[in-house]
Amino acid sequence: MSIEHMEQMETLLPEWLETSRLRTGQGEVASYIPELAKAARDTLGVFVADSQGKTIAAGDYGIPFTMQSISKVFTLILALMDHGEEAVFYNVGKEPTGDDFNSMIKLELVEPGIPFNPLINAGAITVSSLIAGDSPEDKSQRILQFFRKLAGNDGLDYNMDVYHSELETGDLNRSLAYFLKQNGVLKDPVEDVLSVYFKHCSIEVNCADLSRMALVLAFDGVDPCNGEKLIPRRYVQIAKTFMVTCGMYNASGEFAIDVGIPAKSGVSGGILALVPGQYGIGVVGPSLNSKGNSTAGVHLLERLSKEFSWSLF
Amino acid sequence: MSIEHMEQMETLLPEWLETSRLRTGQGEVASYIPELAKAARDTLGVFVADSQGKTIAAGDYGIPFTMQSISKVFTLILALMDHGEEAVFYNVGKEPTGDDFNSMIKLELVEPGIPFNPLINAGAITVSSLIAGDSPEDKSQRILQFFRKLAGNDGLDYNMDVYHSELETGDLNRSLAYFLKQNGVLKDPVEDVLSVYFKHCSIEVNCADLSRMALVLAFDGVDPCNGEKLIPRRYVQIAKTFMVTCGMYNASGEFAIDVGIPAKSGVSGGILALVPGQYGIGVVGPSLNSKGNSTAGVHLLERLSKEFSWSLF
Amino acid sequence: MSIEHMEQMETLLPEWLETSRLRTGQGEVASYIPELAKAARDTLGVFVADSQGKTIAAGDYGIPFTMQSISKVFTLILALMDHGEEAVFYNVGKEPTGDDFNSMIKLELVEPGIPFNPLINAGAITVSSLIAGDSPEDKSQRILQFFRKLAGNDGLDYNMDVYHSELETGDLNRSLAYFLKQNGVLKDPVEDVLSVYFKHCSIEVNCADLSRMALVLAFDGVDPCNGEKLIPRRYVQIAKTFMVTCGMYNASGEFAIDVGIPAKSGVSGGILALVPGQYGIGVVGPSLNSKGNSTAGVHLLERLSKEFSWSLF
Amino acid sequence: MSIEHMEQMETLLPEWLETSRLRTGQGEVASYIPELAKAARDTLGVFVADSQGKTIAAGDYGIPFTMQSISKVFTLILALMDHGEEAVFYNVGKEPTGDDFNSMIKLELVEPGIPFNPLINAGAITVSSLIAGDSPEDKSQRILQFFRKLAGNDGLDYNMDVYHSELETGDLNRSLAYFLKQNGVLKDPVEDVLSVYFKHCSIEVNCADLSRMALVLAFDGVDPCNGEKLIPRRYVQIAKTFMVTCGMYNASGEFAIDVGIPAKSGVSGGILALVPGQYGIGVVGPSLNSKGNSTAGVHLLERLSKEFSWSLF
């Protein structure tokens, strides 16, 4: 059935993408990191890969963009591989927040003052501090190598302009980080942790890279192209669960109902999504809706999910 | 494989249940509704049904208890069947809150002042007001008939002592309801809505009833015992998604990671859970953890999910 | 000096009032109680009384309006006279909130769940429940008699249209009251308490009545016109302190800095203010600023305070 | 009458102080800045000065302590003298918050995201950034000179141990400052602003110094000992008003009702208080109540206020 779907997708995806592209006018490109504001608002691209090495692409699938929050999924996995579940979840919770991804309210109000989950900023900053390594540079290097392996792309690298733009304008993340430091959640110096965090957010990819990383999750941690076991199954399970409950900011509940597949978005307009046992998907569409998700990207994924009954539920 | 699992379960469930029963000492029976406080703290029962009519039970599976919040799943479904998605989700959102199930904070702070989802109290009260019917009695009658059909049990009925206990002590729900009235979310008189709400919370079931209701969800709305189509597939999908993202109060994220199946708990200690395409499950264990879920019941479901790899993720 | 000021005021007040009246265009008449929405937006009146029986009036000082939140000052005093400080402040705090007057957030978040002060709605509802009396009617009767005595006006009475309008639309106050009931702060039935509360908010006065009531506070509880001791000095002190810290909703801090005299406003546009040992003042101007205070009334009081150096500070 | 009071005070103050000292057992010495934790819990001292140069002291009035939050009153005054009312209150509000002095909630929730008042930490950090000066050192120097003049003590200086202790452990203030930076409230680099802020908090005084600084406020900005005009009257008025509405953290409302004089406390246990036109008062008692105020110091001031009818209200 998957092959049949691939054929149908190949034929119809370009048309569906153009329909979804009309939605780009309803959102706005993120402006809070100056470098991100340079993206073209009407961009939309998608790339789908299956386990047989078959791929389908449409629209602006080749343009580069930074991973931003999408990277949080994989730093979580790396932290789990470095320290195990117990250590990671001593410092970060497992619950959706219902608040904005950069909110400080629950850190102040809800004991014990740890981030509610690893996909909000406070949680992802905490996870960054848990990556093994002797120095921030070492941690960043380990992250990059891990991401390169998952994407099957040794050329993956930082966009240093975006990194510096984030460093310079990231005062809200700094505020979050010092709050976490005060609460005893962060052990390392704040600027060290933030350099790791901002760097992995600045890793530049295209839709093909995302689809390949997603494919590894879709096949429980094994790269289906070469059979290499890259991630323990349990950590993939944890990651996929968080993608469903918290992956699309505070529109995650709606996305679960309307699309129903594990996905993670970033403010660059990227979305990594997957159909377990079938596909890895990369989407880019920098025009964001009010919740911070690619407005056209979500529209396209909903169409795909409904046409091919992808929902897990 | 399912048959094999059923055999294993039949053999091992009594032992696993007794292991989980040891956890009852770590929780407390709900005391805020006086009638509920009468439950025995060390009670634990489970009932599993599959589509072939095979059932397995262990522990105190036969004791009666009221559905409480478990009923919210099915009133949501009935409201969807009465009015469709658009009308229901105009009045209630789709997002987890991260707050207590009876919190008022987001109603005050987050525009447009509608409940975040149908499984917190504010949302379920709103859903109660959307049930079709000429009068509160009529609405309640429709709910009861629907629940009887789902449970395949014409004897299902209200526990009027619990109902009156809730009516008398339900001032926090009254407060929520008047807030919703103020925000224009409720159209009917508050006491009318609350009588419908408290009544469906007071429907008395046992584990077998829950397992049968769950089985209908596990088979996409069709009663596998007689092939009758009771709920449109899409509404089952919506219900199962909410069960995963919001079903276990603000421990839903943790439950999704540790157990990973659609479930809904109630403060009476009941849990309705399901394995899609396989099982309907009813659990009761009135000793609750700090999040309001059956402490032993969650423990038992986690054991089962891990032993049989039930997680959707 | 006071006499000299009175003469200056007599000459200049009409002109100052017309200058302030220009500010009415910057605000809006309260609309949430339908009866209040009927007030004319450009209304502005003021009435000043001193201890010698001398009075000065300007503008629309004769129009009737309901006391609304202004009444809270005097029900607090009556509750203190009925039960003493300890009993009253067991149920209601002494702190400004920084939140809207009808906010529920601190009731939910801050232990022990009592209202922060007696001048926000939750606090005033609590105070209403503390008025001595065998029945709601009896309590309301005692309040009315007390207000009549303070105003030296036996004709003071309820505006029953406003009362019924509040009863019908007061769902947010109902929500607050049930929350207080749940927290154990209210002992009596909610509707009984609310009838007392809505009734004292609906007592109809004019600027002359307010100035006379204020004069009693300006002279430490003694009616300077007849020497009658109406309120113990300590309770006047408490009332004046609350008027300074919480009297002008969450613009109280600003008013204390810019005007600096004890005052209490209501959503009908009334303001009761006083200069200790000198004047009682009544103002009406239904056009409200975003904080719920009479926009022109505050402007006029600021002018008067600055011209005559009235600030306590 | 003042002279008579001075005589009474001289006789009775030592006894009253010892009575209040018994309260030190009910509080705790602040521990969050390690240097502060070294203070002796049962310390209590008081120093009263009048305009004739008469002084009365009792208890441990001579021990040195750092000003901490007490300094906020005078940096506010200096910022007002440097830039005027409009510029200062463009960046900081005038309202009590009802929240803890280091809370971030209202910064996140309430537009326009400026601190509610200059006496909470966020507000005082903002005020520090408004002090005129070419560099942080220059600003700090101007503050120190101003404080020395107000205290009539050229020997006033920083306690550099406390300063470094605060610098090292001040992550919550750093978090606040970066949040303010993000909101555009702070223009200078955060660490520059914090060095100014932590430094003025670390100025070391004793009760006599505080009483002399308070005396200047009690006489509307004029040093009564030498007739020198140190502060414009309007800025003293603003300072005194804030001391009444926000001076004692979120126990300011209670203090206004029970004591009723302008006062400002610090976590070192110091309290600066004044009786307008009469006295300047310095108190120290490091054992703090749950709101962060000197438990015995507040008790002693309440006694004094009641005995001599000091309340402004």
> Helix, strand or coil for residue C220?
coil
Q: Is B135 on the interface with C (CB under 8 A)?
A: no
D248 vs D266: CA distance, rounded Å: 8
D288 vs D69: CA distance, rounded Å: 14
DSSP A69: G
Give residues with Cβ within 8 angstroms of C83, minimum separation 6: C130, C132
DSSP A110: S
B266 vs B67: CA distance, rounded Å: 6
Rounded to the nearest angstrom, the minimum Cα separation between B193 and chain A is 26
Average pLDDT value for chain C: 96
Q: Is A244 a catalytic residue?
A: no
Q: How far from C129 is each of B176, B261, C151, D284, CA to CA, in Å? A: 21, 49, 23, 41
Residues A191-215 have a mean pLDDT of 98
Say if C3-65+206-308 and C68-203 have the same CATH topology: yes
A259 vs A281: CA distance, rounded Å: 13
Give pLDDT, residue C2.
67
pLDDT tens-digit profile of A54-90? 999 999 999 999 999 999 999 999 999 999 999 999 9
pLDDT tens-digit profile of C118-148? 999 999 999 999 999 999 999 999 999 999 9
Give pLDDT, residue A34.
86
Torsion angle of alpha carbons D15, D21, D22, D23, nearest 10°?
A: 130
**Structural Rg of chain C based on CA atoms:** 18
pLDDT tens-digit profile of D31-68? 878 888 899 999 999 999 999 999 999 999 999 999 99
CATH class entry, domain C68-203: alpha beta
Q: How far from B82 is each of A303, B79, B149, B151, CA to CA, in Å? A: 26, 5, 16, 20
**ipTM of the predicted structure?**
0.96
C222 vs C306: CA distance, rounded Å: 27
Task: Write down the residue that tokens 């919001």 correspond to.
Answer: B246
Task: Write down the residue that tokens 């009315």 correspond to.
Answer: C144
DSSP class per residue in D188-212 = S-HHHHHHHHHHHHTEEE-HHHHHH
Split at pLDDT 50, 70, 90, the class of B6 is confident
Judge whether A299 and A233 are in contact, CB under 8 Å.
no
pLDDT tens-digit profile of A223-236? 998 999 999 999 99
Task: Mark residue A297 as left, alpha or beta (left: phi above 0; alpha: psi -120 to 50; beta: remaining).
Answer: alpha
* Residue D267 is assigned to a ligand binding site: yes
pLDDT tens-digit profile of B190-244? 999 999 999 999 999 999 999 999 999 999 999 998 999 999 999 999 999 999 9
* Residue A69 is assigned to a ligand binding site: yes
A58 vs A78: CA distance, rounded Å: 31
B199 vs B68: CA distance, rounded Å: 9
Domain D3-65+206-308 has CATH 3.40.710.10: yes
Give pLDDT, residue C34.
85
Tokens of D85: 């009312």
B170 vs B188: CA distance, rounded Å: 18
* Residue B249 is assigned to a ligand binding site: yes
Judge whether A60 and A259 are in contact, CB under 8 Å.
no
A5 vs A281: CA distance, rounded Å: 14
C88 vs C97: CA distance, rounded Å: 18
pLDDT tens-digit profile of B170-192? 999 999 999 999 999 999 999 99
Name the residue among C3, C50, C14 with its Cα closest to residue C212. Answer: C50
The rounded percent of chain C whose pLDDT value lies above 70 is 99
Give pLDDT, residue D2.
67
Q: Is B197 a catalytic residue?
A: yes
Split at pLDDT 50, 70, 90, the class of A3 is confident
**Chain C residue at shortest CA distance from B170:** C182
> Helix, strand or coil for residue A280?
strand
Task: Check the CA dihedral D142-D143-D145-D149 and report its sign.
Answer: positive
Strand-pair partners of A66? A204
Beta strands at B270-275 and B28-29: parallel, antiparallel or unpaired: unpaired
Give pLDDT, residue C302.
98
Split at pLDDT 50, 70, 90, the class of A199 is very high
**Which of A190, A267, A275, A284 is the catalytic position?**
A267
* Residue A1 pLDDT > 80: no
Give pLDDT, residue D33.
83
**Chain D residue at shortest CA distance from C115:** D98
Cβ distance C105 to B103 less than 8 Å, yes or no, reads no
Tokens of B277: 């395409």
Judge whether C197 and C125 are in contact, CB under 8 Å.
yes
> Helix, strand or coil for residue D294?
strand
Cβ contacts of A291 on chain B, cutoff 8 Å:
none
Phi first, then psi, for residue A223 (nearest 5°) are: -70, 110
Q: Is A241 on the interface with D (CB under 8 A)?
A: no
* Residue A164 pLDDT > 70: yes
Neighbours of B26 (CB within 10 A): 13
Give me the total of CB pairs closer than 8 Å, taking one residue from chain A and one from chain B.
99
The rounded percent of chain A whose pLDDT value lies above 70 is 99
Cβ contacts of B251 on chain A, cutoff 8 Å:
95
pLDDT tens-digit profile of C30-42? 987 888 889 999 9
With b for 16 or more beta-carbon neighbours within 10 A and e for fewer, the D179-216 pattern comes to bbbbbebbebebebbbbbbbbbbbbbbbbbbbbbbbbb
Task: Write down the residue that tokens 């073209």 correspond to.
Answer: A40
Task: Check the CA dihedral C229-C231-C233-C237 and report its sign.
Answer: negative
Helix (H) or strand (E) run with residue D129 in it: helix D121-130
When CB atoms are compared, the residue of A109, A172, A182 closest to D171 is A182
Cβ contacts of B103 on chain C, cutoff 8 Å:
108
B308 vs B8: CA distance, rounded Å: 10
* Residue C1 pLDDT > 70: no
Residues A124-140 have a mean pLDDT of 98
Tokens of D103: 């809370």
The rounded percent of chain B whose pLDDT value lies above 70 is 99
B165 vs B163: CA distance, rounded Å: 5
* Domains of chain C, residue spans: 3-65+206-308, 68-203
Tokens of C271: 């303001």
B177 vs B102: CA distance, rounded Å: 11
Q: Is C242 on the interface with D (CB under 8 A)?
A: yes
* Residue B1 pLDDT > 60: no
DSSP C210: H
